[in-house]
Amino acid sequence: MDRKSHFQQTLWDLQRKLGQRALVPLSQLAQRGYLSTGFPEIDELLGVQGITMGNVIAVVGMPSSGVTSFSYSVMAEAQAQNRNVIAIDLGQTFDASSAIQWGVVPEYILLVRSYEVHDAVKYADVVRTVIQQLPQTLIVINATDIERNRALLPDLLPILFKLRGQLTKSDCAILVLLPHMPSHTLQAEFDTMLHFQRISWLTRYGDIDGYHSTVTLQKDRALNDERVTAVDIWLKGEPM
């Protein structure tokens, strides 16, 4: 067995024992793409050029913290890169008019709506097929509905765990929108967590038109590695 074949066999053996994500060749990581969030402050917080493809990212925040607007911004950036966008709307909260204001072209988004809490399980095969057959896809799973979320997470998180191995070899990424921080046990399902917290309202001409929020990045939970930035999220575009 030559050196290259021996290396590959060793890699497969270790991945079978430790999991596919435990060991990834550096050459494979270098091929991964990046996706801007549309917010320079958050791109800088992530330490790269935005979201690293091949990852599962939790975006956490209560209503009116900026989580949904952030997801629309990322969708628009994905479309600008000619990436496919699939939105799985588990709370039936996707707002096409708001998405358009953020630059999203709704005609080119596959919107999957759930009417039953446990439909999340049925979508596992859909997401798996997307990862395998549609490269360069952003998958946004909106689970921000608080009441539905309590019943949903026990089904959703194991699905994400199974999909992470496939994501490693793809140029896809999954954004999961959640209303609150999952327990420490469930946090292990995510590569990165962004926690949004509204600090104050932004007003224009006397009307509320956005949020001033802090965004906390958590990547390495073992090292308690957290970084924070602040962003202004205008609902109708930044003032001129």
Q: pLDDT by residue (tens digit) across 131-186?
A: 888 888 999 988 887 666 666 666 777 777 777 777 877 889 999 998 877 666 55
Q: Alpha-carbon distance 85 to 224, whole Å?
A: 32
Q: Alpha-carbon distance 103 to 209, whole Å?
A: 17
The answer to whether residue 132 is domain-embedded is yes
Quote the pLDDT of residue 165.
74
Residue with tokens 């596992």: 124
Most confident of 14-18, 31-35, 81-85, 150-154: 81-85
**How many domains does one find in the chain?**
1
Q: What is the mean pLDDT of the segment spanning 186-203?
A: 87
Summarize the chain as % helix, strand, coil (round to 5).
Answer: 40, 30, 35
| Reported confidence tier of residue 99, pLDDT bands at 50, 70, 90 | very high
Quote the pLDDT of residue 113.
81
The answer to whether residue 115 is domain-embedded is yes
Quote the pLDDT of residue 140.
94
With 50 as the cut, is the pLDDT of residue 30 above it? Answer: no
Q: How many residues does the chain have?
A: 240
**Could you give phi then psi for residue 119, rounded to 5 degrees?**
-65, -20
Nearest to 108 by CA among 131, 76, 134: 76
Most confident of 21-35, 62-76, 81-95: 62-76
The answer to whether residue 25 is domain-embedded is no
More reliable by pLDDT, 154 or 95: 95
Tell me the residue range of the domain where 76 lies.
54-234
With 80 as the cut, is the pLDDT of residue 197 above it? Answer: yes
CB burial class (10 A; 0-12, 13-18, 19+) of residue 171?
middle
The answer to whether residue 190 is domain-embedded is yes
Identify whether the C-beta of residue 157 lies closer than 8 Å to the C-beta of residue 186.
yes
The answer to whether residue 15 is domain-embedded is no
Record the pTM.
0.82
Nearest to 226 by CA among 237, 216, 214: 216
> How far does CA 221 lie from the centroid of its chain?
18
The answer to whether residue 30 is domain-embedded is no
Identify whether the C-beta of residue 93 lies closer than 8 Å to the C-beta of residue 114.
no
Most confident of 26-35, 58-67, 167-176: 58-67
The answer to whether residue 211 is domain-embedded is yes
The answer to whether residue 75 is domain-embedded is yes
More reliable by pLDDT, 29 or 189: 189
Q: Alpha-carbon distance 118 to 144, whole Å?
A: 15
Q: Alpha-carbon distance 40 to 76, whole Å?
A: 15
> Residue 100's domain is classified under what CATH number?
3.40.50.300
